[in-house]
Copies of this chain bind each other. A is one copy, B any other.
Amino acid sequence: MSERVHSSSVTCPVARAIDVIGDRWSLLILRDALDGVRRFGDFQRSLGVAKNILSDRLRRLVEAEVLVLAPASDGSPYQEYTLSSTGAQLFPVVTAIRQWGEKNLFDRGEPYTRLLDTRTGKPVPVMKPLASDGSVLSADNTAIRRPG
């Protein structure tokens, strides 16, 4: 994330988003935050990452207002990292990454963690970009238009 920001990120929402979240550890922190992890030590145990790297990534996500650092909700002396409303909106991003991994990176029968709808107990259906008429969109029937 210390690499030079290219001019395309001035107008490309993908590039601008990647400047904020497009880093291995940041994405894994966000996965865990969406799963309810809030404390430094819990992130560290989950990720097995060096403390200085974790500190750096958490600090950047707080600076970007994706995470919010606040006193623990239970009155204990800990501080907690919670998702801002901007951060909570990353649920579709992490879900899309998860579903791509499920479909493409596991052998048949190989076990993996599942994302379930808590009301039904069923796996979350595969998310697809849909046109306004409900048809499925892909790179083949979409195009990028640059501004101006």
Using a CB–CB cutoff of 8 Å, the interface residues on chain A facing chain B are 1, 3-4, 6-8, 11-24, 27-28, 31, 34-36, 46-49, 83, 86, 88-106, 111-120, 122, 124-125, 127-132, 137-139, 141-148
A19, B104: Cα distance in complex, Å: 13
**A86: nearest chain-B partner, CB-CB:** B104
Task: Give the dominant DSSP class at A's interface.
Answer: mixed
Which of B18, B47, B103 is within 8 Å of A97, CB to CB?
A: B18
CB neighbours of A13 from chain B (8 A)? 97-102, 105-106, 112-113
A132, B62: Cα distance in complex, Å: 34
| Nearest CB of B to A109, in Å | 11
Knowing that A4-B48, A18-B27, A111-B147 touch, tell me 17 more A-B residue pairs with CB under 8 angstroms: A3-B24, A6-B49, A7-B48, A8-B47, A13-B102, A14-B28, A22-B22, A22-B28, A36-B139, A89-B104, A96-B127, A113-B144, A113-B147, A115-B144, A117-B132, A127-B127, A127-B129
